[in-house]
Structure formats: C-alpha cells, structure tokens
Amino acid sequence: MEKRDKIYEGKAKVLFTTDNPDLLIQYFKDEATAFDGKKKGIIEHKGVLNNKISSAIFKLLEASGIKTHFVEQQSDREMVVKKLRIIPVEVVVRNLVAGSLAKRLGMEEGATLKNPIVEFFYKSDPLGDPMINEYHAREFGFATDAELKLMTAGALKINGILSEFFDKRGIILVDFKLEFGEHKGEVLLGDEITPDGCRLWDKTTREKMDKDRFRRDLGKVEEAYQEVLRKVTEKI
Ligand code: 5GP
C-alpha cells in the first residue's frame, strides 16, 4: 500500500492517507519526547523496534478477541491501520504504583495494587493531558457513556491479556496508556502498544525496560527496547 498525503505528525508517529479511504499508514519515528515535549531526543532505531513490538502485540490482542485498528505491518517503520476518529480520552491502567500516581499521592514507586486502577486523561498537548473523570468526559463531550464503558472494559481485558503475556516472559506490566477510536460505528483500540507508553520492569531485577530510561537519563534505552522486542517475539 502506498503512502499519499501526510495528515498528522505527532511526537513519535506520522499518519499518511493511502489509496483506500478507510486505511492509513502509521509511520514510526525515532524521536522521543518526555515531560510534555520539554525533553527531546532520539532513541536509535526506536521507530523500527516500536513498529515490530506494537505489531506483535496487536496480533496477540486480535487473536484474543480485542478489536484494534491494526491491519498489517507493511515495512520496518510502517503499519497499515484502519482510519479512526480518535476519542480524545487516554486510558491508563496501573498494576503497580509508579509515575504520576506515585507523585500525585506521595507514594513510593513499586507497591503492587490489590486491583488494577483505571484513569482517564484528556488528550491535549497544549494542556499536558490533564487527568479527568467520567463526569468531565460526558459533560464536555470527549466521550459518550457507552464509549467510556467499552474503553474501560476493553482496557481491563487488555490488561489481563498483556499482564499474563509479559509475566510469562519475565516482565512486569506496571502500567500503560491506551487510545481508542471509532471506525464505522465500532470502538477500536488505536495508537500503539510499545515501551513508549508502557512501564515494563524485569521481574527478577526490577530494572526498567521502557521510556523511563529516557525520561530519567538511565542510559541503555535502545538496548532495553531491543530486549522487549526479543521477549515479545519469543516463542514460548
Ligand atoms: P503516568 O501517568 O504515570 O505518567 O503514565 C502512566 C503510563 O501511561 C505510563 O506507562 C506512561 O508511559 C503512559 N503514558 C501516559 N501518558 C502518556 C503519553 O502522553 N504518551 C505516552 N507515550 N505514554 C503515556
């Protein structure tokens, strides 16, 4: 499938139209940003690694009954996806205390939660993705009640599938962010599932294998993404 017009360029990906009006090409870049774009850098080969990691995970989710925008991996950096009307609510699922949850509530990182926590954030770069709840989403028309219900149930199901998948590969799925969108009346999982938007810790050493290595200047960022790709594509 051929790329036509660039319709969107984000911090990590570019979207192009194709000859099929229902399909887009999602192109993965090496650029990395953190702290609402205040920190910028390049993670060598990140685009290729994230395209492969995300393709493998979308395939796994589709095989487990989750509807996603994924059609196929077309090349090293390109994925064919269904065109979505993005619902501007990011859904975060947490299994352990980390990141903004630790900061917001003054907690140490690392405690395991008794039950997963689902949080919503309004997808807005200028506002830095503020946290919202169902009332805000409904009031301001970011998502309908039906969409929120589907996204919450989908996010928890995805959490179950991925937690088990990573656990078998010696990785703890600490937390992750999902984006959903509407395609022909259906709510589909969109965006990507990669170490850019997931916290992944080695089960034995608790070493970070995700974008926190970039955010916190821990070094060996590309190596960590390589290792995640190796584990995600490992046949066990
Ligand atoms: P936190 O709220 O602790 O910063 O993030 C929770 C989880 O969601 C982390 O795994 C983080 O990587 C992911 N996440 C939250 N917001 C974003 C975002 O705007 N972009 C990306 N790539 N990931 C995000």
How many angstroms is it from 175 CA to the middle of ligand 1?
Answer: 8
Task: Output the pLDDT for position 47.
Answer: 98
Give 156's pLDDT tier (boundaries 50, 70, 90). very high
How far is residue 93's CA from residue 23's CA, in Å, rounded to a whole number? 28
Atom 20 of ligand 1, residue of closest alpha carbon: 197
Quick check: pTM over 0.95? yes
Residue 192 beta carbon below 6 angstroms from any ligand 1 atom: no
Helices and strands in the chain, H and E counts: 6, 15
Of 92, 109, 124, best ligand 1 pocket probe by most atoms within 8 Å of the beta carbon: 92
Positive or negative, the CA dihedral 193, 30, 209, 230 is positive
Residue 199 CA, closest ligand 1 atom number: 10
Task: Output the pLDDT for position 36.
Answer: 87
Return phi, psi of residue 234, to 5°: -70, 135
User: Each residue of 178-203: pLDDT tens digit?
Assistant: 999 999 999 999 999 999 999 999 99
Q: How many Cβ atoms are within 10 Å of 47's Cβ, its own excluded?
A: 21
Average pLDDT of the residues in 155-179: 98
Q: Which long-range contacts (CB under 8 A, 24 or more apart) does 130-133 make?
A: 131/100, 132/89
User: Each residue of 15-47: pLDDT tens digit?
Assistant: 999 999 999 999 999 999 999 889 999 999 999
The percent of residues in the chain predicted with pLDDT above 70, rounded, is 100
Residue 123 CA, closest ligand 1 atom number: 19
Strands 186-189 and 180-183: antiparallel
How far is residue 31's CA from residue 46's CA, in Å, rounded to a whole number? 8
Strand, helix or coil for residue 193: coil
